[in-house]
Amino acid sequence: MVRKVHSTITKIAESISIVTLISLAVALFVGVIARYVFSYSIPEIEVIRKFSIMWLVFMGSAIAVKEKVHLEIDIFSDYLSKNAIKIKNMIVFILVLFGLIILAFVGIAAFESGLNRRELVSIRFLTSPPSLIYYYSAFLVGVLFMLYFHLISAKELFIKERKEVKKK
C-alpha cells in the first residue's frame, strides 16, 4: 500500500514535469514562429511560459530530491570514517529538512499572496485578469513534494543504519 502511494506520488510529479516541459517547448516554438515568420506577437504565450517554467522548476527539484541528484559536496567523504560519514549524512539531512521547512513557510506565504494578485498580461478571451495563484501554487506544491521525498529518503537512511547494527 505504501509503495503504491509512493509510486503514485512519483508518477504525479513526473507527469507534471513532462506536461509542463512539453507546454513550454510548444509555447516557445509557437512564439518564435508567430513573431519571426508572421510578424505577430501573442501575449498569452508569455503566461503559458511563466506557468510552465515555475511548475517545471519545482517539480524538477522534487524529482531531484527523490533521485538524490541534487547538489551535494562530498569532497571530504573520501577522508572520513564510516561513522563520520553517517554523522555527516545526518547533519546534511537535518539542514536540508530545515531549509525545506523554511521554503514551505515561504510557499504558504506565496500561495496566500497569489490569491490577491492578478496577472498583468491581458488575456483576450478572459473578461478579467486571472489570479496569480496558478504560478505561486507551484512553489508550495513543489516544496511539499520535496519534503515528502526527503522524508522518504530519511527513512531509507535510518533503516540502513538499523540493518547494519543488526548484522553486527
CB 123 within 8 A of CB 47: yes
User: What does the block give as the cell for 64?
Assistant: 531531484
Mean pLDDT of 151-168: 66
CA distances from 133 to 111, 146, 148 (A): 6, 20, 22
Tell me the percentage of the chain whose pLDDT exceeds 70. 86
Q: Provide the whole-model pTM.
A: 0.79
- Is residue 122 over pLDDT 70? no
pLDDT-derived band at 88 (thresholds 50, 70, 90) equals confident
Residue 39's pLDDT is 86
Give the residue, 44 or 99, on which the prediction is more confident: 99
Residue 33 CA to residue 16 CA, distance in Å, equals: 26
- Between helix 133-167 and helix 44-67 the angle, nearest 10°, is 10
Residue 12's pLDDT is 92
Mean pLDDT of 53-80: 83
Burial of 118 (0-12, 13-18, 19+ CB in 10 A): exposed
